[in-house]
């Protein structure tokens, strides 16, 4: 069993989502597919949260912007056969509108988590439905039912033993070989929505891999792999094909933006390799981060 994680850039348009489907189709092993919000949608939902919390008066207009973005993607993906997915997404937008129609609580972080989480909830609903429509059968899992956290909103801590129990009960692979679920978000034992902080979707993939003893995790990005320098600044930057867990952590401390250290730790604890590959050129080798014995 493997974990594939697709970030916002790899699901930012109908064309990108079709490429994601091609990548998933190439994999013969059972998969858990972890997906981020589409494009820059987290930023848009953060704007919505600020408007709602500070009662600026533009919340419903912002929701309509978010709605138009997603429905344009739906129309480009499904053409005429989009009634079922439109109904599902309309329900999510109704839920979002119900939130902003109320008075906000006094806790900004609580409001942030329940509003911003709609980005992942909407993206996974669309992608799961699209995969099924092209005969890539899958089950959509609400990760909030599987990963349980404390109530430290916006930077929640995973309750490992409880999450392991729920994950093993949910990701059984008895009725399907593919699951689609959300990155970045989780849930408390009282069913409140939480988020996992910086690089939360990568961390979600790593945690699920750890709890389910996955064979590997692949993070699909708009870069060819882990680079030894920023290619935007250095024309001679090269891909690092093979990196140790330790080197990856050191690179992140030196400013590299590819992998956050908290993503590495759950994988290192169980020697699960982490691949960083290009969703534009999936046949390219990319980079692999794994245990390397020091000489």
pLDDT digits (tens, 9 = 90+) for 186-221: 999 999 999 999 778 999 999 999 999 999 999 999
**Is residue 129 within 8 Å of 171, Cβ to Cβ?**
no
pLDDT at 256: 59
Compute the distance between CA of residue 40 and CA of residue 239 in angstroms, rounded to an integer: 26
Nearest C-alpha neighbor of 180 from the set 237, 131, 110: 131
Q: Residue-wise over 193-219: b if at least 16 C-beta within 10 A, else e?
A: bbbbeebbbbbbbbbbbbbbebebbbb
Nearest 5°: phi and psi at 160? -60, -50
E strand residue ranges, 142-262: 148-149, 178-182, 185-188, 193-195, 216-221, 242-244
- Strand order from edge to edge, sheet including 185-188: 148-149, 185-188, 193-195
Residue 135: pLDDT above 90? yes
Residue 79: pLDDT above 90? no
Nearest 5°: phi and psi at 270? -125, 15
- Rounded to a whole number, what is the largest CA-CA distance in the chain? 62
pLDDT digits (tens, 9 = 90+) for 223-271: 889 887 777 778 888 899 999 999 888 877 665 566 888 999 999 999 9
The tokens of 116 are what? 């911003």
């Amino acid at each position: 069993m493997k974990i594939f994680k697709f970030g916002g850039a790899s699901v930012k348009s109908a064309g990108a989502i079709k490429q994601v489907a091609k990548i998933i189709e190439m994999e013969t092993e059972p998969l858990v597919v972890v997906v981020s919000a589409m494009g820059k949608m987290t930023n848009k939902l953060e704007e919505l949260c600020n408007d709602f919390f500070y009662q600026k008066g533009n919340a419903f207009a912002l929701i309509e912007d978010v709605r138009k973005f997603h429905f344009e993607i739906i129309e480009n993906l499904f053409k005429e056969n989009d009634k079922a997915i439109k109904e599902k997404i309309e329900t999510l937008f109704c839920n979002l509108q119900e939130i902003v129609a109320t008075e906000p609580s006094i806790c900004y972080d609580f409001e942030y988590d329940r509003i911003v989480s709609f980005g992942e909830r909407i993206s996974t609903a669309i992608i799961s439905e699209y995969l099924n429509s092209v005969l890539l059968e899958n089950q959509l899992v609400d990760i909030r039912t599987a990963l349980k956290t404390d109530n430290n909103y916006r930077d929640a801590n995973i309750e490992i033993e409880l999450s392991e129990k729920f994950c093993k009960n949910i990701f059984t692979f008895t009725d399907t070989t593919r699951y689609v679920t959300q990155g970045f978000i989780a849930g408390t034992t009282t069913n409140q929505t939480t988020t996992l902080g910086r690089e939360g979707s990568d961390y979600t993939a790593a945690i699920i891999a750890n709890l389910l003893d996955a064979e590997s995790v692949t993070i699909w990005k708009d870069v060819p792999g882990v680079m030894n320098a920023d290619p935007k600044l250095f024309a001679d930057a090269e891909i690092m094909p093979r990196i140790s867990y330790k080197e990856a952590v050191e690179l992140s401390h030196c400013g590299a933006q590819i992998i956050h250290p908290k993503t590495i730790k759950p994988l290192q604890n169980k020697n699960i390799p982490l691949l960083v590959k290009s969703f534009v050129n999936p046949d390219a080798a990319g980079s692999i981060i794994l245990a390397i014995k020091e000489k």
